[in-house]
């Protein structure tokens, strides 16, 4: 059965960066793809795979990004438990089957990723072994347990993780289609999707939970510089120190929304300019209680009073974030350096 139903162009290179999403996330995939083209226009394809490309405009189809309509019928239906995540989060698991005859290596990225500097071609060229699946460990485990509430994570690892406590993030993956299919990857993931349904109300990890159920003992450790995420690591000081390649804005706070995270706000203008120009219909959220929301819901009749009110609020927010950013700074950095050195892919 043909798994690429429609496309705007055939493959051109032997490796690809791939996004898989529904049309609601298509603007974000296009932003991320355009960012890659501007930062590292290397000898690899950039692909956006969706189950329906009927709403993609002719101008977008004529652009440099390969856009494919793919068959996702191999994926069973499961409940969704997070309002910022759609069923599109599961599409990545059919990509090895879809592109097995076209690409040697796939570098999958969530649509909330941001290429900070070149490094994709170095990833492809540095692979020295078969890679059925590579991912980055859950970075929260690099934090001193005394500073975190570890009970919930330990329970998740017990239910979903590997024999030795492995647990990985699914937002950035490397897989070689032939190697993934040789380990019966699609069938194993399908079975894990069904099994994970009982854990969704408890741990709320959608395809990531299923991925760990299926593969935690087999996943190769990917360099964290290719999936840099979570509030302890997404801050100017640590980012400058480690110089990551890919930032991953995981979680409900996103840089394209009008939210308060001081680090994410550094990227807000870039997202806003692109989305307003290329996708004017895209709605940026204003989270209730945020600074932007406070301006939209003023308490005072004078703008200067609102500026003072919001300014004080932002100072409190920044202080809160800095508490997470810089707690046990040197200890975190030592743990991260060891994790980087232990990676076998990237």
Q: Select the more confidently predicted residue: 261 or 300.
A: 261
Q: How far apart are CA 230 and CA 141, in angstroms?
A: 11
> In this predicted structure, what is the pLDDT of residue 84?
74
Q: How many domains does the chain have?
A: 1
Copy the structure tokens of residue 240.
């400058």
| pLDDT tens for each residue of 75-97 | 988 877 777 778 888 999 999 99
CATH number, residue 295 = 3.90.550.10
**Mean pLDDT of all residues in the chain?**
93
Query: So what's the pLDDT on residue 147?
Result: 55
Can you give the pTM of this predicted structure?
0.95
Q: Mean pLDDT lowest for which of 143-147, 159-163, 170-174, 206-210?
A: 143-147
Compute the distance between CA of residue 201 and CA of residue 198 in angstroms, rounded to an integer.
7
CB 13 within 8 A of CB 77: no
- First CA to last CA across the chain, in angstroms? 34
SS3 136: strand
Give pLDDT tens digits for 21-49: 999 999 999 999 999 999 998 999 999 99
Residue range(s) defining the domain that contains residue 242: 1-346
Question: For residue 327, what are the CA distances in angstroms to 77, 140, 238?
Answer: 41, 13, 12
């Amino acid at each position: 059965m043909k798994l690429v139903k429609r496309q705007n162009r055939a493959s051109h290179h032997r490796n690809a960066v791939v996004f898989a999403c529904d049309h609601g996330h298509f603007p974000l995939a296009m932003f991320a793809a355009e960012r890659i083209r501007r930062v590292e226009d290397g000898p690899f394809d950039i692909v956006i795979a969706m189950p329906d490309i009927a709403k993609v405009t002719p101008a977008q189809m004529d652009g440099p990004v390969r856009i494919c309509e793919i068959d996702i019928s191999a994926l069973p239906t499961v409940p969704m438990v997070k309002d910022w995540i759609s069923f599109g989060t599961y599409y990545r698991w059919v990509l090895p089957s879809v592109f097995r005859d076209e690409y040697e290596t796939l570098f999958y990225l969530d649509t909330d990723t941001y290429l900070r500097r070149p490094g994709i071609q170095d990833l492809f060229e540095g692979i020295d072994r078969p890679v059925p699946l590579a991912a980055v460990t859950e970075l929260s485990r690099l934090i001193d347990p005394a500073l975190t509430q570890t009970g919930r994570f330990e329970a998740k690892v017990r239910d979903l993780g590997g024999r030795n406590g492995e647990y990985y993030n699914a937002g950035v993956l490397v897989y070689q289609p032939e190697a993934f299919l040789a380990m019966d990857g699609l069938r194993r993931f399908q079975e894990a999707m069904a099994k994970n349904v009982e854990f969704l109300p408890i741990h709320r990890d959608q395809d990531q939970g299923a991925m760990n159920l299926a593969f935690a003992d087999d996943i190769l450790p990917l360099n964290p510089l290719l999936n840099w995420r979570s509030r302890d690591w997404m801050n100017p000081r640590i980012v400058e120190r480690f110089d990551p390649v890919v930032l991953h804005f995981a979680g409900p706070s996103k840089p394209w929304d009008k939210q308060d995270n001081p680090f994410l706000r550094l990227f807000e203008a870039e997202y806003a300019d692109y989305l307003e120009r290329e996708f004017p219909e895209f709605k940026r959220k204003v989270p209730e209680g945020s600074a932007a929301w406070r301006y939209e819901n003023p308490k005072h009749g004078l703008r200067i009073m609102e500026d003072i009110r919001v300014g004080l609020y932002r100072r409190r927010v920044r202080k809160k974030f800095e508490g997470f950013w810089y707690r046990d700074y040197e200890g975190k950095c030592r743990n991260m350096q060891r994790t980087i050195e232990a990676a076998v892919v990237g």
